[in-house]
């Protein structure tokens, strides 16, 4: 049900590198779509000159989004994410009043 937790530091390093590669791949995919979409809009603006301003507005907005995407992928250091399945790891609480457990029981534990 939940993703497998890394057993060693090497597994965590592999997962981190895979996430970095995936984020770079999605950026280059986004860049490819930006190039093809911008080329289409510019050709449309050249063919119909009064629509040129209406084709430049989406290109400018999309360029800002692409620049932010590049910043997030290549410049900004990724923050340490704490996933749902990692939140309580290593913190066993003996006090039942402060435990975030759900009052719903598993179906195999229910009494008939």
Q: What is the DSSP string of 56-109?
A: HHHHHHHHHHHHHHHIIIIISPPPPP--GGGTTTT-----STT----SPPPGGG
Residue range 49-77: mean pLDDT, rounded: 92
Three-class SS of residue 5? coil
Q: Does the pLDDT value for residue 19 go beyond 90?
A: no
Cβ atoms of 5 and 85 within 8 Å: the answer is: yes
- Dihedral sign computed on CA atoms, order 62, 64, 68, 71: positive
pLDDT at 15: 84
Cβ atoms of 61 and 15 within 8 Å: the answer is: no
Residue with more model confidence, 1 or 38: 38
Q: Give the predicted TM-score (pTM) of the model.
A: 0.59
Tokens of 43: 């050709």
Domains in the chain: boundaries: 26-77
In 48-109, which ranges are continuous DSSP H helix? 52-70
Residue with more model confidence, 73 or 98: 73
Q: Does the pLDDT value for residue 73 go beyond 60?
A: yes
Residue range 97-108: mean pLDDT, rounded: 50
């Amino acid at each position: 049900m939940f993703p497998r937790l890394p057993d060693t530091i090497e597994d965590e390093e592999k997962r981190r590198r895979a996430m970095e590669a995936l984020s770079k791949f999605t950026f280059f995919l986004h860049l490819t779509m930006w190039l093809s979409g911008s080329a289409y809009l510019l050709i449309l603006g050249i063919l119909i000159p009064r629509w040129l301003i209406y084709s430049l507005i989406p290109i400018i907005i999309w360029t800002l989004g692409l620049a932010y995407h590049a910043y997030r992928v290549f410049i900004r250091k990724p923050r340490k994410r704490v996933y749902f399945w990692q939140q309580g790891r290593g913190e066993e609480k003996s006090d039942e009043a402060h435990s975030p457990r759900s009052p719903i029981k598993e179906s195999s534990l229910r009494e008939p």
